[in-house]
Copies of this chain bind each other. A is one copy, B any other.
Amino acid sequence: MSNQVIPQELSDLLSSTALAHMATIGPKGEPHSSPVWFGWDGEHIRVSQTKARQKYRNLKKNPKIALSIVDPTNPYRYIEVRGTVVDFEEDPNKGFIDEMAQKYLNEPKYPWSKPGEERVVLIIEPEHTATM
């Protein structure tokens, strides 16, 4: 399957090692923003999240999300993807965060895990995009 929302001419940004900046809605309805690692399988965007973080609680309450990704080689080329977190997948074996460490750090294991840290994978369905 592949997602029809992402314009083909910008789909390379979703396979790049750029950071995505993730916007969520906070407890009082206010916007939050933070940089994240992300994965893309042609259908969903995936982001690792610890259950202790504010973003996780934000998304459990309101699963609407936006990600903006700038081309690392051209700061005037970017894509904004808006969508919904359609699932929170448990990641007890840290398989996904290790995959992200491979992608972004070229290391097979995520080096910054903390004891007892519980991770989930945000499964994000793109619904709309915007660009320049």
Minimal beta-carbon separation of A7 from chain B (angstroms): 16
Cβ of A31 and Cβ of B68 under 8 Å apart?
no
- Across the interface, which residues of B come within 8 angstroms of A68, CB to CB? 21, 33-35
Cβ of A30 and Cβ of B64 under 8 Å apart?
yes
Which single residue of chain B is at the shortest CB-CB distance from A130?
A: B34
Instruction: Tell me the residues in window 51-105 of chain A with beta carbons closer than 8 Å to chain B beta carbons.
Output: 54, 62, 64-68, 70, 75, 78, 80, 82
A25 within 8 A of partner (CB): yes
- Across the interface, which residues of B come within 8 angstroms of A31, CB to CB? 23-25, 31, 64-66, 82
Cβ of B66 and Cβ of A30 under 8 Å apart?
yes
How long is the Cα–Cα vector from A67 to B26 in the complex, in angstroms?
Answer: 14
Contacts A19-B75, A23-B23: A32 and B65 contacting too (C-beta < 8 A)? no
How long is the Cα–Cα vector from A62 to B78 in the complex, in angstroms?
Answer: 25
How long is the Cα–Cα vector from A32 to B78 in the complex, in angstroms?
Answer: 14
